A and B are shown apart, each in its own frame.
Chain A
Amino acid sequence: MILLDRVTKIYNKKEAALERISLHVEPKEFVIVVGTSGAGKSTLLKLLTREEKPTTGKIIVGGIDYDKLKDRDIPMLRRKIGVVFQDFKLLDGKNVFDNVAFALEIVGMNSREIKHTVPKVLDIVGLADKARSYPPELSGGERQRVAIARAVVRQPKILIADEPTGNLDPKNAWDVIRVLEKINKYGTTVLLTTHNVEIVNALKRRVITIKDGHVASDEANAGYKLA
């Protein structure tokens, strides 16, 4: 599903943000990426969403070889990958329903289909009763679940969650993680980056540790190893 082969990303000539990273993520896997700030986690995710291009190396996601990807094809690539951000990236002027519908509107789905699809996804993330609420009226955890709903409403094969629990209290953080596990159960590959030791240790999933731009460890059913 995701393949990185000796990928290096250098922002300035002095230091590499990532250096010769090689990874392979199978379909339907739930993978946690951990690392300290500046270790290269965000760079890794930006390479996967093609916000950044690798300096060297090969990336293949969902059968798409990024070397052959033209700029005009990037929107189509992003439609196949759901992304959840630490700062939610919701539109405060749109209610929950419209924020989720936004992802369907841009691909040209008609209003009837949108009205049919969005409530189902809101139900999955546990926000069926908040459809008419606006983001500022919601808790952090609820906002993040709206962001997850928007990311999965197009049923992507891959969901990338960039520190989705970073701004949340433990209860809300666990609510978000439960939703991600649920989505993974439906067959979506989940790539989660987090700092939360408790969550990593409790989940017992594959954990990839990134340190100074290198893969320091990559183990199944693992715990948090940075300390």
Chain B
Amino acid sequence: MKSHPLTIFFRMIRTGGKNFLRNAWLSIAATAVMVVALTIILSAIVLNVTAHNAIKELSKDFKVSIYLKDDVTAAQRAPLEKALKANPATASVEYVSIETAKARFSDSFQSDQKLLEGLSLVGGNSLPASFEVSTTDVDKITQIGDTAKKAEFKSIVDSVTLGKTDAKKTIDRAASARRFIVNASIFSALLFAGVSVLIIFNTIRMAIFTRSNEIEIMKLIGATPNYIRGPFLVEASMYGIIAGLLANSAVYAAILSLGSKVSSQAEFSATYTFFTDPKTVLMMLGGAILAGVLVAVISSSLAMEKYLRLKKW
């Protein structure tokens, strides 16, 4: 008698699909809880990326200014520049000469003629030369300041300014909110994933009881354990696939409706572009489905292990 593995495979999928529809209410409950769990996980990812990009954008303008004393030569400032670049927290170092500083000041205050006239009256040396240092990590910005304050540079460094205090506070608050979002999301996702596992476990247990007569007959007439397990795994995987699709749709509906309103702001434009990229859309969808199927397969396997009794024939 010829056995066709593909026929068996499609038969298991068909039976699993039928079981999914047969236990419609239980299937809906199991899928709904998983939709909640996956939506929380996906939302956490979106919020985390949004916060990360916003902080990065805010940090761009947050620089350490190291003002040099008058008449410091290129040879004298070279060791300081080298030390600043060697600092792991340093992203970039820019030397701003007196002329450049004056030009930038003029650009910034073009409309304030009185201020510019006052500056020309005071003389050329009113704005000092400086190093503008940007950082890779706002939390480590003081390290850069400390480098400049070392005794060996005392003869050339006039003063050190660590950006604007209010900007630092905003960044700190954003970072703290991001940490809270991540922790709360992990906790909620774990909680709902646990609830999902329990509900799917119970759904599959009910399905096993409903089909106990059929399973007994299958065992007696020579069905393999995998043939008996297959439809239950298919049924559970369907919860995961549908939940993944719904959760992803819900999160993307939020991204598109809210994101389009704030995407013009510098803090959010990169995030919006990232999440609307087709590659990201597919990755989020694939990840959600994979996570859903994984949770479903684990919980249904536990139920089958306990209630199918496939070890005793």
Contact = CB atoms under 8 A, between A and B. Distances in A.
Contacts of B223: 75, 106
B222 A109 contact: no
B313 A51 contact: yes
Contact of A83 (B11, B214, B221, B227): B221
A91 B8 contact: no
A144 interface: no
A89 B222 contact: no
A7 B123 CA distance: 116
Contacts of B222: 75-79, 103, 106-107
Given A79-B222, A83-B220, A109 B1 contact: yes
Interface string A74-102: 11111100010100010100000000001
Contact of A109 (B2, B220, B311): B2
A106 B220 contact: no
A108 interface: yes
B4 A49 contact: no
A102 B8 CA distance: 12
- B2, B4, B11, B217, most chain A CB atoms within 10 A: B217
Interface residues on B, range: 20 to 34
Contacts of B218: 106
Contacts of A113: 2
B7 interface: yes
B176 interface: no
B8 A108 contact: yes
B216 interface: yes
A78 B220 contact: yes
A212 B12 CA distance: 45
Contacts of B225: 72, 75
B214 A49 contact: no
A107 B3 contact: yes
A168 to B, nearest CB: 20
B224 interface: yes
Contacts of B220: 49, 51, 78, 83, 85, 89
B155 interface: no
A50 interface: yes
A110 interface: yes
Interface string B257-298: 000000000000000000000000000000000000000000
A105 B3 contact: no
B221 A109 contact: no
Contacts of B313: 50-51, 71, 74-75
Nearest to A114: B7
A41 interface: no
Nearest to B223: A106
B5 interface: yes
A190 to B, nearest CB: 17
Contact of A91 (B3, B11, B217, B227): B217
Interface in B1-26: 1-5, 7-8, 11
A109 B217 contact: no
B213 interface: yes
A157 interface: no
Interface string A107-149: 1111101000000000000000000000000000000000000
Interface string B196-239: 00000000000000000110111111111101000000000000
Contact of B7 (A76, A102, A108): A108
Contacts of B1: 104, 107, 109, 154-155
Nearest to B216: A89
B4 A110 contact: yes
**What are the 7 A-B residue pairs with the smallest beta carbon separation, nearest first?**
A108-B3, A79-B222, A78-B222, A106-B223, A108-B8, A74-B313, A75-B222
6 contacts: A72-B225, A91-B213, A91-B214, A102-B221, A106-B227, A110-B4
